[in-house]
Structures are given as C-alpha cells and as structure tokens.
Amino acid sequence: MSILKRQLNALAAVTEGVFVPKSWTDGADTPVVRRELGHLKDPLSYKVKKYFLGIPLNRHTLSSQRLSKKNAFGVLSSDCISSSAYGGEQILVALIPAFGLAAFTIFPPMIGIIIVMLIAITLLYRDVITTYTRSGSAYLVSRENFGRVVSQVAAVELMFGYIITVAIQSAAGVAALLSTFPELNPFKVQITVLIVFTLTYVNLRGVKEAGAFFVIPSYLFMGSMLIVFIFGIYRYFAGTLPVYSQDTEGLVPIGQAQGLLSVAAMLLILKAFANGSASLTGLEAISDSVPLFKNPGHVNAKKVLILMSATLGTLIIGIAWLAKETQAIPYADGTPTVISLIAKAALGDGLIGDILFILTQTGTMLILFAGANTCFTAFPNLVNMVANDGYLPRRLTQRGHKLVFSNGVLFIAGFATLLVIVTQASITVLAAIYALSVFVGFALTGAGMTKRSIRLKLPKRKILSHSISTAIAVFTVLVLSIVKFSQGTWVVVIGTPLVVILMLKFNKQYAREQKALTIKQHQERATSIARHDVTVLVDNVDIATVGAVRYARSLKPRNLSAVHFVIDDRRAEDIKEAWAKSDALDDVTLELIDCPDRRLANSALDYAIRMTEKQDVELTLLLPRRSYSGFLGRLLHDQTAEEIAAPISQLQRVVATIVPFDVDRITSSSQLTLAAPSEVKPVAAPVARFKPIEDVMKNVEPVSHYAEEMTPIGEIQWRKRAHVQGKVTAIKSAPRGSAPILQVEVWDQTGGVTLQFLGRREIAGLEVGSQIRAEGMVGEEEGALTILNPSYELLV
C-alpha cells in the first residue's frame, strides 16, 4: 500500500496544476442525468380544450378507464332498460285507433310475445359474448361467418341504430320533462338538441367520467319504478287504482272494436307488433362493448347482460299491467306519456304522491338520457373496429384528449342532431327506423351464430336456440320493412345498400394504397447510390433560399447546384445578379433553364429525368416553401412547391423535399416561445485539483456490488452504484446487421438515465410506458449518465 501511495503522490506532483478529466474523454463536461427540455407553450385553443375537458389522460392509463360491473350496468344497460318507457306506449298508439278499448285486451298477449323475444335474443347474445370474448357485435359475427359484404350491412345497421338511439332516447327524455312541465312544449326540438350537445361534452371528458355520471339515473329509474309498482299493486287490491276517462282532450283517436281475423286487422296488429319491437332495442350494447369491462371482460359482460334483460322484462310487464288496469290512452302529441299517466295513477295526488311523481319523472327523463349516452360509448368502439378493417376513414381510430374515440363521438352527435331537427323529435317516426336497424343486426347475429353452430357441430339445442332467435328477428325485419316503409323505414331499406357501397369503395381505396406502399422483394434491401446530387429550385434570392442551400450542404452531395426556370426574362436577370452578389451562395452554381410554356412542374420533371439518366445517380430536389398567414397568405401567394413535388415524387431515384420557411413569424415579429424546462441539478460535482493521496482516500467509500437504497434518478452519481425506478420513455435497439445492444431511457420526476444492455435486442414484457426498477454501476456516454447491463425488475 505504501508503494502505491508513493507512486500516486509522485503522479500528483508531476501533474500539479492540471485538472483531472471529468469524463472518459479528455476535456469533457461532467456527466449529468438527462434533463427535461423546453416544450412549445400551449396555444389558446389547447388551453380552452384543457379547461373544458380537463387534463389529458396518458394512454398508459387506458386500463383504468374500464368499467366495473356496477358502472357498466349504469352506462351500457340504460339504453335497453329505458326502452320500456316508450315501447309499450307505441303498441297502444297503433292498437287503440284500430280496435278502441278492445286494444287493452290484445295488449297483454303482445307483451307476452315481446317477453318471449327478449328471452330468445338474450340467450343468443349470451352465447355471442361467450364465443367472441373480445367484442361480440353483429359486425364481428357477420365478418367471421359471412364475409366482408354482409359484415358491412351489419356495421351500417348498427351505426344507424346507434345514431337513431341518441335521437329517440333524447326526444323521449324531453317528452318526460314536458309531461311534468307542459309549458316547455314549444321548445321541444331545441331542448332535445341541447341534450345531445350535453351528452357529447360529457363523453368527450372520458368513458369513466360518463359512467359515473349516468350510474345514478339508472338506479334512480329502477328504484322509482319499483315504488310505482308497489303503490299500484297496493291500490289495485285496495280498489283505489283510478281508471282514466276516454273523453280527455288530446288523446289519440279511439276506434271501434272489430274482428281479429280480417286482413286489415292482421296488418294493424303487425303494425302494433312492429311498434312494440322497439322495447327490445339496446340488447346488443353489452356485446358490442366487452372491451370496456374490467377483466375478465366477457364474464362480467354476461352477468350484466342477464341482469339487464331481467330488469327490462320486469319493467315491460309492470308498465303494461298498470297501463291496462288504468286504461292509460296515449296522447296524440306524445305528452303526457303513458309512463307518466300510470305513475300519477299509482302514486296518487297527495303531497307524498306529488313528490314521488316528480321523482319518477326525473328518473324516467334521466334514464332515457342515459340510454342515449350508451351509444356514445358503443358507437365509437364499433366505428373504430370497422375503420381498422379499412371500411371507414382511419381518423375514427384515433383516441382523443381523454382516451375516447373523439371523432366517433362527434360523428354520432352530428348525425343525431340532424335527425332530431328533421323529424322534429318525433318518437313515433324515429321508433320504426330504430327498431328495423336493430333487428337487422339481431337477424345477422343469429344467422351467423347458427351457421357457426352447424359448422362446429355444436349440440342441437344450441342450433335450435340460435335458429329460433334468427327466425324471430327475420320476421320482425320483414314486418317493419313492409308495414312501416312509408313511415320512415325506407331510410334503412334504401340507405343501407348505398352506405355499404360507399364503405366498400373506402376499403378498395385503402387496399390500393396499401398495395402501392408494400415493400416488394426486390426492394427489401435498400442499396446505396454511389452518386448523390442535390439541386435547389430557386424562385427568389432571399433568406428562404439561403436556408435551403445551407440544408443542401449538410447532405454532403457530390454536386450541389441551383436551378431557376425562366418564365420572365427580367426577373431571371434580377435573380442572376442577386445570386452573384450574395456571399452565402458564392460556391453554388446557378443554372437558368427556359420554361416557355410556364408549366413549372413539367420543366422540373424533365430536369429530374435528364439528371438521373445514369442508373447510379440519385437526385434530391429541394423546394423552398415560404409559409404565409392563413387565408390572406393563400390569397396573395401560390402553392407552387406542392405542385412541383407531386409529379416528381413518382420518379425513381428522385426525391422532392420541401423546405418550409415561416414568413408569417417574421412579419408579425413573433418568436417561438418555449415553456421553461424544470431545473435539474448536475449530479456529479467537478473534481478538484490533485491532492495528496491521504486526503483523497479519506473520502472514498468502499466499493459495493449492490445499491440497496432506492435513489432518485436526479441524485445518482457517476462511477457509483445506483438503484433507480421510473417509467420507460424510449427504447432503442441496434439494427439487425450490427452488434446487439438495447438502450432504454428511464425517467422519474427528478430526471432521466439510459440503461444499456449489451448483447440484447429486446427484453420480454418491456415496452414504452412500462415501469422498471434497475440497479447497477453508473457510467457515462457522450456526457450523459448511463447504467451498463443493470439487473432489472419489470413492475406491473
């Protein structure tokens, strides 16, 4: 040890007055952790967006946006359950003008048929969720069993159904409001549109927030209707349940009793059946939204489906029974609603009855709004799936500020608003279109499941169950298409093929583009071109041109030249003189090329072809583009760069690069403003001049092979072991043709550090956004601290 001390002291004497290098590279700065850089300041539009929608969600929190069974029941079943508020009423709207008070005798058997249909379709969708555990919409079932054309029919019907659901549920909710406050009736359409806008805003704030918002209305409606049923049963057995008068002004026309076996009577019954089928709309929402459930998604979805169907059946039966016993005849203008009439009859006129009535109407109104909200959840997921398959614009797959498919939300809101305005928020008109769209989906789902059951030779009871569901749905589709054609279902019958054709055209266009961009076998190996020339196309001698030339030099071309296509001799002479006078351009040759027909794109194309006649030459054309302010800039200046670049990009071995220059920033004297980065302190203090070895050794810690304590990344020190934890923000792997190395950038609140794994190209389970804990010796690379080959642990 004494020999070592003498040698070190001698070295200190020789190098006295010389600084110790602060890194492995002489003269390098002290290595530091990675520090946060400045960011663009938020523009006003983004600040407004953040104010209304809240802080944007990180995509790695997507799993936390999934719904529990309680919230899923409130969000997704409200559409189906709320159908009970107007489904039975629509049956009476068709029966009473045809059969008079005898309609109340026909009413219970029709409700019985609706319940049988409910059971059959529920069993069908239960099997769908079991089979297609990721998402079991009619679209997916049709795609797997019938191919792309039939699946697009299913997609269109589902989209129609969801759009109409928003319109009809919002209109029905407003009708419940108007039943309590009739003086608002002149503003029916405006209030309905306002509700659609409100639902849009709530859903843009995120699925989880929308779910929490609409859980209460679902349970409020069910609780208030349970109270209505209890009061109704009590008053029925007490003999105090009132019966409504037939002479009240504003009721639908009351017809005369007639036989049921005539053709006319059968058509009227089928019309009533078509109206009543609206009671079953919304059953598919659960299977369409399996990805929104917390794991295990399909198990939780099946439980919610069964609970939803049982609740719906109870409500349909209870409301129908009270409507029959009180002879609640619907009003011609839709308000008061039948559900408000039976609630008033069951609850009575006292103070408690009035309070409970308002509570019931509030619950009815909110559940209907919640039913409309269901579609804001299911529709974006559906169009995301269809767009990923290439049948709708890809922008519908983009998640927005709050991790919802914002474009899908705006899509359904826009069309639903248009539908409300066109139909003047009429429930009767909307119900027929709504039911047809939904039952086409039921029919395709049932047919797909039947085909699958036969193909896989499943038990006969499964095949029979699916066949019955299919037959019921197909029969309903035929009835709705024929009986209600003139009352609105023509929109679905005629519109579906047109939209399907459009979607197939989208897919064909995407397929052509994909084929053009697919790497061919002879293109798989990118070869280097021996001779790379760069030409700057010049329209003026200004700072934009100088910037383009500066960029051209950085490409290190074999030949660098500039070209001006002459369309005005005097202007060309001015450019030539300005070029000769510019010190920044004195090493670049300017070539003037005649363009007699003033077609710059053609001249540029001819030039590019001439310059790349030899197969070993690659040409880059740089086009300075001056960016001007908004509308005025586009009015005063042309877009020549884009017009030239488009045809040139089709040539082989020619690249047209537009070099933008922001003129508007200079004319407005504005500067690019950056948000100040958070300060990160240097983590390694500079080493002082050499001291005697005894003084140095006093502060040296024993070398440890493991750092037990967790250290904030901002406090780790060079050449010491560190135990850190943070989020993976970047992963960089070496190319296949070089030695394997993996670099992982990890950050916490105090700074960032690179983990370097030699001999590896990947780590199973490691992805951007995941959390990692690592321990190892801290080194440096190019002035940044690096932990080489650390031991690590991936955190869930």
The per-residue pLDDT for 774 is: 92
DSSP 8-class letter at 766: -
Per the prediction, the chain carries an average pLDDT of 78
Q: Is pLDDT above 80 for 721?
A: yes
The per-residue pLDDT for 263 is: 65
Percent of the chain having pLDDT more than 70? 79
In sequence order, which residues have a C-beta less than 8 Å from that of residue 467 and are 6 or more positions away? 446, 450
Q: Is pLDDT above 90 for 686?
A: no
Provide the whole-model pTM: 0.67
Q: Is pLDDT above 60 for 708?
A: yes
| Whole-number Å distance between alpha carbons of 428 and 418 | 17
Write out pLDDT tens, residues 616-629: 888 999 888 776 66
**92 within 8 A of 338, measured Cβ to Cβ:** yes
What one-character-per-residue DSSP string does 691-759 give? --HHHHHHTPPPP-S---S---GGG--TTSEEEEEEEEEEEEE--TTS--EEEEEEEETTEEEEEEEET
Give me the residue label for tokens 């004297």. Answer: 669
Average pLDDT of 722-742? 87
Segment holding 164, helix H or strand E: helix 148-180
Give me the residue label for tokens 């389970």. Answer: 765
What one-character-per-residue DSSP string does 546-597 give? HHHHHHHHHT--SEEEEEEEES-HHHHHHHHHHHHH-GGGTTSEEEEEE-TT
Average pLDDT of 116-139? 80
Q: Is pLDDT above 80 for 294?
A: no
Confidence band (pLDDT; 50, 70, 90) for 264?
A: low
Q: Is pLDDT above 50 for 14?
A: no
The per-residue pLDDT for 2 is: 46
Write out pLDDT tens, residues 308-365: 889 889 998 999 899 888 888 888 877 788 888 899 899 988 888 889 988 888 888 8
Q: Please provide residue 731's backbone torsions phi and psi, each rounded to the nearest 5 degrees.
A: -130, 125
Q: Is pLDDT above 70 for 697?
A: no
Q: Is pLDDT above 50 for 22?
A: no
Q: Is pLDDT above 90 for 57?
A: no
Segment holding 674, helix H or strand E: strand 674-675
The per-residue pLDDT for 227 is: 93
Percent of the chain having pLDDT more than 90? 9
What one-character-per-residue DSSP string does 294-306 give? PSSHHHHHHHHHH
The per-residue pLDDT for 13 is: 42
Q: Which of 72-81, 241-250, 528-537, 654-663 shows the lowest per-residue confidence on average (mean pLDDT)?
A: 72-81
Q: Is pLDDT above 60 for 680?
A: no
Write out pLDDT tens, residues 549-598: 999 998 888 889 999 888 888 888 888 888 888 888 888 888 888 887 77
Q: What sign has the CA pseudo-torsion 541, 542, 548, 553?
A: positive
Confidence band (pLDDT; 50, 70, 90) for 647?
A: confident
Q: Is pLDDT above 60 for 156?
A: yes
Write out pLDDT tens, residues 397-424: 877 766 677 888 899 999 999 988 988 8
Of the segments 61-75, 257-271, 471-485, which one has the largest average pLDDT value?
471-485
Average pLDDT of 374-398? 84
Confidence band (pLDDT; 50, 70, 90) for 671?
A: low
Confidence band (pLDDT; 50, 70, 90) for 753?
A: very high
What one-character-per-residue DSSP string does 217-242 give? HHHHHHHHHHHHHHHHHHHHHHT---
Write out pLDDT tens, residues 505-543: 998 988 888 887 776 665 555 555 668 899 999 888 888
Average pLDDT of 473-489? 81
Average pLDDT of 36-55? 64
The per-residue pLDDT for 277 is: 75
* Amino acid occupying residue 713: I
Q: Is pLDDT above 90 for 755?
A: yes
Q: Is pLDDT above 50 for 3?
A: no
The per-residue pLDDT for 7 is: 43
For residue 66 the two structure tokens come to 């999934």
The per-residue pLDDT for 18 is: 37
Q: Is pLDDT above 60 for 125?
A: yes
State the CB neighbour count (10 A cutoff) for residue 734.
14
DSSP 8-class letter at 93: H
**594 within 8 A of 567, measured Cβ to Cβ:** no
**129 within 8 A of 287, measured Cβ to Cβ:** yes
Q: Please provide residue 242's backbone torsions phi and psi, each rounded to the nearest 5 degrees.
A: -75, 160
Burial classification of residue 519, based on how many CB atoms lie within 10 Å of its CB (0-12 exposed, 13-18 middle, 19 or more buried): exposed
Confidence band (pLDDT; 50, 70, 90) for 502?
A: very high
Average pLDDT of 117-136? 81
Q: 160, 589, 209, 171: which is closest to 383 by C-alpha?
A: 160
In sequence order, which residues have a C-beta less than 8 Å from that of residue 699 and are 6 or more positions away? none
The per-residue pLDDT for 683 is: 37
**176 within 8 A of 85, measured Cβ to Cβ:** yes
For residue 221 the two structure tokens come to 């409606």
**788 within 8 A of 758, measured Cβ to Cβ:** yes
For residue 689 the two structure tokens come to 């001049």
Torsion angle defined by CA atoms of residues 302, 308, 310 and 313, in that order, rounded to the nearest 10 degrees: -140
Within 13 Å of residue 444, how many CA atoms lie on the same side as its CB? 30
The per-residue pLDDT for 775 is: 92
Q: Is pLDDT above 90 for 463?
A: no
| Whole-number Å distance between alpha carbons of 74 and 308 | 10
Query: Which of the pair, 669 or 568, is modelled with greater confidence?
Result: 568
Of the segments 44-58, 165-179, 270-284, 652-666, which one has the largest average pLDDT value?
165-179
| Whole-number Å distance between alpha carbons of 374 and 360 | 21
The per-residue pLDDT for 693 is: 38
Confidence band (pLDDT; 50, 70, 90) for 8?
A: very low
Within 13 Å of residue 594, how many CA atoms lie on the same side as its CB? 1
| Whole-number Å distance between alpha carbons of 363 and 217 | 6
Q: Is pLDDT above 90 for 289?
A: no
Q: Is pLDDT above 50 for 20?
A: no
Q: Which of 53-57, 735-739, 761-765 shows the lowest per-residue confidence on average (mean pLDDT)?
A: 53-57
Average pLDDT of 256-264? 64
The per-residue pLDDT for 206 is: 67
Q: Is pLDDT above 80 for 251?
A: yes
